[in-house]
Amino acid sequence: MTGQTQVSATPDSPLDVIIVGAGVGGLYSIYKLRELGFKVHALEQASGVGGTWFYNRYPGCRCDVESYQYSYSFSEELQREWTWTERFAPQPEILAYLNHVADRFNLRKDITFNTTVLSAVWNEDQRLWTVNCADGTKWTAHYCLMATGPLSVPRTSVLPKQEQFKGEVYYTGTWPEGGVDVKGKRVAVVGTSASGTQCVPILAAEADHLTVFQRTPNFSVPSRNAPMDPKVDADWKANYTDLRKKQWNTRSAIIFQDPVQPALETSDEELERIFEERWASGGLGFMRAFTDLFTDQRANDLAADFVRRKIAETVKDPELAKKLLPWGHPIGARRLCTDPGFYDAFNRDNVDLVDVKADPIVEVYDKGIRTESGATYEFDVLVLATGFQAMMGALTKMDIVGTGGRLLRDQWANGPEAHLGLAITGFPNLFYQVGPLSTGSLASMIQGNEVQTDWLADLLVHARKQHIDRIESTPEKDHAWMEECERAASAFVHYTAKESSYIMIGADGSRRFLVYMGGFDTYQKKLKECVDHGYEGFVLQHERETEKA
């Protein structure tokens, strides 16, 4: 281990930590670990920093956590000098922020771009990870941190015979840097989740004609994005310390206006008034209108009914409105979308909706899409807002090879098990961030990344002091944490959802929750308890020690 000196890395000499990914997690990890004197280097497949915000350049892309909350807390100076211009920052501004962070903290010198990691292989004799890249380079390191993101592998080739289409094809998750000119063109959008609901209103206003293909209607609430309120800006700048403390003590790393009462103990008039108020103020805070919306199905139904009424009121054609109404899953169990006028877009003459649950897509042909009924839809541009191989995709796409040649992909074939959602038995000295069984997408992820990086940094400092060079979780603890995630989820309406989603895979007996729903605040307590109990659940081995501690 290199002690306190900072050395620029090359593939030839072993690093302390190799980091895969230069999104919000990778960037902070480079900064933090380097400050502590670790020799670190990051490998990034993109040509720039930003991860999610580098790739998702589709029209309308923006965060759904308010800008001041969706930002780093690790540097006072950074907090004070950066000013967000909108309530929910648009993708270009978040990307500019992350580039500013990279420049301000001189992080680029420790990143190699345009480098895709194909595999990471553990060498037990040397206690080193070797990371192999698509360009043939190899990097070795004592520790490997997979900051590869929960939503970084878009689902591709999702439609039958997609390759037959002769027009332009774009994924929202890898939107071209220069944008796409849809003026005068017929556009199809497939998918009506978070990305679809954000881009539909913008594309509808620009394109000649827009056909939206919807499989599962989702709940979406208005975002009510607006220029940054100077009072909000001033409040955050003056009170960062207190507000961050407050933010970190919430269940989702997001400060909302707290609910004061359960919906089930509220009169009909009061219920309506409070829902209206939340609807008018916009954003994810809608689901914080009452204390029981996530925990009692009857209360959740009241919120769902309210939103369905709003959809029916907004969309003028009753038949069309009916198709857009979400049924069959609790509101909030799938990602709640926030939109800049998704439902309104269907009142435009140039927008059509195709319900592909009722009339499934059978194939893509050279000019468009054909459905089971024989209907054909022609267009020039196909936009696939079809989501990601969420949570596990980046980790299982690579060949991550642990002790005895085991493959992570195989080990997780029936669902992930990982101690505290960051370490996996059989993969010593390897850690991952905001992936499966972490607070993941149920908490603001900049904060999720910060918490995990800080915890890992403390662990590596401890290891350095104690001359520990091998850290591995145990199968019992990995399994126990998976059960803890299931137990935590069972308290929520999400648990009753039938269809798999980005937080849940499998069905019936083999169903697994992919996130820890116990809360961001409780998750931090669990991390602390682990440390307080001497890194409970980890086997820490000293240098040259061969027996298990």
Ligand X SMILES: Cc1cc2nc3c(=O)[nH]c(=O)nc-3n(C[C@H](O)[C@H](O)[C@H](O)COP(=O)(O)OP(=O)(O)OC[C@H]3O[C@@H](n4cnc5c(N)ncnc54)[C@H](O)[C@@H]3O)c2cc1C
Task: Provide the H-helix boundaries in 346-444.
Answer: 393-397, 408-411
Give the span between the Cα atoms of 507 and 275, in whole angstroms. 33
Q: How large is the C-alpha radius of gyration of the chain?
A: 24
Count of Cβ atoms closer than 10 Å to residue 79 Cβ: 18
Near ligand X by CB under 6 A: residue from 18, 19, 46, 505: 46
**117 part of the interface to ligand X, by CB under 6 A:** yes
**19 part of the interface to ligand X, by CB under 6 A:** no
Separation in Å, CA 39 to CA 2, 116, 541: 7, 21, 21
Near ligand X by CB under 6 A: residue from 18, 40, 63, 228: 63
Choose the binding region for ligand X from 5-13, 49-57, 373-381, 533-541 (rule: CB under 6 A).
49-57
Give the span between the Cα atoms of 549 and 541, in whole angstroms. 6
# of chain residues touching ligand X (CB under 6 A): 36
**23 part of the interface to ligand X, by CB under 6 A:** yes
**43 part of the interface to ligand X, by CB under 6 A:** yes
* Contacting residues for 544 by C-beta, under 8 A, at least 6 apart: none
Q: Which is nearer to ligand X, 131 or 271 (CB)?
A: 131
Residues 69-98 that bind ligand X (CB under 6 A): 70
Choose the binding region for ligand X from 144-152, 232-240, 522-530, 536-544 (rule: CB under 6 A).
144-152
Q: Which is nearer to ligand X, 79 or 449 (CB)?
A: 449
**384 part of the interface to ligand X, by CB under 6 A:** no
Q: Which is nearer to ligand X, 71 or 411 (CB)?
A: 71
Q: What is the DSSP letter of 227?
A: B
**460 part of the interface to ligand X, by CB under 6 A:** no
Near ligand X by CB under 6 A: residue from 59, 60, 90, 149: 149
Q: Which is nearer to ligand X, 94 or 304 (CB)?
A: 94
Reduce the DSSP state of residue 369 to 3 states and report it: strand
Near ligand X by CB under 6 A: residue from 44, 110, 292, 380: 44
Strand partners, 138: 132
**Least Å from the CB of residue 383 to ligand X:** 14
Q: How many helices (H) and strands (E) does the chain have?
A: 15, 22
**21 part of the interface to ligand X, by CB under 6 A:** yes
Calculated CA dihedral for residues 316, 318, 324, 330, nearest 10 degrees: 110
H-helix or E-strand spanning residue 220: strand 220-222
Q: What is the DSSP letter of 109?
A: G
Q: Which is nearer to ligand X, 139 or 306 (CB)?
A: 139
**Least Å from the CB of residue 58 to ligand X:** 8
Task: For residue 104, count CB atoms less than 10 angstroms from its CB and return exposed for 0-12, middle for 13-18, buried for 19 or more.
Answer: middle
| CA angle in degrees (0–180, nearest 5) for 294-300-303 | 120
Residues 391-450 that bind ligand X (CB under 6 A): 394, 398, 433-434, 444-445, 449
**Least Å from the CB of residue 25 to ligand X:** 3
Residues of this chain that interact with ligand X (CB under 6 A) are 20-26, 43-46, 51-52, 54, 56, 61, 63-65, 70, 116-117, 147-152, 195, 394, 398, 433-434, 444-445, 449
